[in-house]
Amino acid sequence: MLHFINQLPKAELHLHIEGTFEPELMFEIAKRNGIKIKYNSVEEIRNAYQFDCLQDFLDIYYAGAGVLIHEQDFYDLTYSYLEICAEQNVRHTEIMFDPQTHTDRGVSFETVINGISNACKDAEGKLGVTSLLIMSYLRHLSEEEAFKTLEQSLPYKHLIKAVGLDSSEMGNPPSKFKNVFEASVKEGYIPVAHAGEEGPAEYIWEALDILNIKRIDHGNNCFEDDLIDEIVKRDIALTVCPLSNTALRVVDDLKNHPIKKMMSKGLKVTVNSDDPAYFGGQVNQNYIELQDALELTKADLYEFAKNSFQYSLLDKEQKARRIQELDVFYSQNS
Ligand code: ADE
Ligand code: ZN
């Protein structure tokens, strides 16, 4: 099964680039930028990664991102993640980045986008991993601030595929961002959003009906009959993040993870790492631990991988080509 998971061609659809920041690289970049961080060793950093809820994690995650200053820093961060993708047979990835985490510290939008997108371009050529970018608005900030970010992004529109919504969910419903999502869609960005991670089913409704999202990030709290019917009817996928859910105590134990229940209701699910440096595993580790906890079959894992291409933001032909490649693998390894 391990071999099957490692070799399985797949896409990752829920990944925050700032959440891939491994402590070793964090130390290296902090040192070259002359920034003192709170921890004295890699072990100390890893020991600090114990969370009771989403906010606990976010406080540490934003502090870590504070050492990223130069274009090269964003390049190195992104390229390191893409190398890991290549090792895991992740053929395509849709990377979220949080511009406001950086622009609020005086780093320019241009620095962030150039570093990330140049790494993506190089990785496509050298590693064969393709990527698309999702610019995420921080929901704990105001809609007005999100509008500023939208404005800053416009000269780089050709590099960005979609807009997302992340950060502290409770008390920051999707409806708060109605106007900026409308404006983003007018600019050609595809809307997605985190919804129902800690927040209620009502937030998922708002994300669907008010933001008109094309994919739900997390969606753990979707279990209301009408809501499930609506998600199925719209043919929208959930980007599920099992190890994130246990690390942030959205789920108490992987054995109780709702992903099988989601599948049994006809929902389309994918498996992703969210913030792998913080939650104890890359995407393959999420497949491995989930398979073990829920005794999943190869057919279940194939379905996750197929959904990851089918519900990606790639065009029709690209999706078909990748699914065909997956099907060849599956027919030889099932
Ligand atoms: N930003 C990074 N990871 C996140 C998550 N799991 N939920 C909300 N915002 C995030
Ligand atoms: Zn996330």
pLDDT class for 93, splitting at 50, 70, 90?
A: very high
Positions marked active-site: 197
What pTM does this model have? 0.98
Provide the pLDDT for residue 118: 98
Residues with CB under 6 A from ligand 1: 16, 19, 54, 61, 166-167, 194, 197, 244, 274-275
Provide the pLDDT for residue 30: 95
Rounded Cα distance between 233 and 286, Å, is: 28
Provide the pLDDT for residue 127: 98
- Closest ligand 1 atom to Cα of 136: 1
Helix (H/G/I), strand (E/B), else coil: 117: helix
Helix (H/G/I), strand (E/B), else coil: 314: coil
Testing ligand 1's pocket by substitution, the residue of 101, 166, 251 carrying the most ligand atoms inside 8 A of its CB is 166
Burial class for 73, CB neighbours closer than 10 Å (0-12, 13-18, 19+): buried
pLDDT in tens, 108-151: 999 999 999 999 999 999 999 999 999 999 999 999 999 999 99
Within 13 Å, how many C-alpha atoms sit on residue 259's CB side?
32
Average of pLDDT values for 86-92?
98
Alpha helices in the chain (DSSP H): 2-7, 23-32, 42-48, 54-65, 71-87, 99-103, 109-127, 143-153, 178-186, 201-209, 225-234, 242-247, 259-264, 276-279, 283-294, 298-310, 316-333
Q: Whose alpha carbon is nearest atom 8 of ligand 1?
A: 167
- Closest ligand 1 atom to Cα of 197: 7
Provide the pLDDT for residue 215: 98
Catalogue all structural domains in the chain, each as residue range(s) with its CATH number.
2-333 (3.20.20.140)
Testing ligand 1's pocket by substitution, the residue of 18, 20, 54, 198 carrying the most ligand atoms inside 8 A of its CB is 54
